[in-house]
Amino acid sequence: MISNISKYFNQLIKYVTWVAILFLLGAMLITTVDVVLRKINNAGIYGTIDLVQLMIMSAAYLSIPYAFMKKSHVAVSILSERMPEKAAALCQALGMVLCVIFMSAIAWFGFEQAEQQHQYGDISITLGLPMIYYWIPVLTGSVLSAIVSVRLLITSFFSLCGVTQSSSEEGVNI
């Protein structure tokens, strides 16, 4: 049962990451077309800044859970590679505690801000896009990142206790 949930969660993270990649490609395409149009007829795409900001924010926050899951977040490997296994697991656990706290705080306070902006009807400057569109990927990425961090925290505690798990149980392979 848990391995099935883990499998489906891994697939969810994978699909969310593909959406992030599409947002990044969209931002690149819009920027390129805008530059070319400005060179051709001195008129670019109306609302380029609004669209690119939305796409870059979405790409950034939606890719964080995958980076955490693959353990490709920033680490001081020069130290952790030289540490004994238990000390490295302890550092990993402490780092994941901080990640859970930080990503949960972003989700919590972001939700409050998103709710407030949605109630006020805040919109983007040029295109008038509802600001909630900007918050949805931030909140989604933050919540998924916190969940992945909890999973990595649990894995770190297992390592601290000397319990080894297969990589499929850890949920880090996608």
Average pLDDT over residues 132-141: 96
pLDDT of amino acid 143: 96
d(CA 5, CA 79) in angstroms, rounded, equals: 34
Which residue stretches of the chain are H helix? 2-41, 48-69, 77-80, 85-120, 132-160, 167-170
**Bridge partners for 123 per DSSP:** 130
Question: What Cα–Cα distance (Å) separates residue 62 from each residue in 37, 99, 125?
Answer: 30, 16, 24
DSSP code, position 82: T
pLDDT of amino acid 157: 87
**Bridge partners for 130 per DSSP:** 123
Confidence of residue 73 (pLDDT cuts 50, 70, 90): low
Cβ neighbour number for residue 153 with a 10 Å cutoff: 19
Residue type, position 72, single letter: S
Task: Judge whether residue 163 has pLDDT over 80.
Answer: no
Is the CB of residue 114 less than 8 Å from the CB of residue 34?
Answer: no
Query: pLDDT (tens digit, 9 = 90+) per residue, 32-72?
Result: 999 999 999 988 899 999 999 999 999 999 999 999 888 87
Query: pLDDT (tens digit, 9 = 90+) per residue, 107-132?
Result: 999 999 999 999 999 999 899 999 99
Nearest CA among 26, 34, 51 for reference residue 129: 51
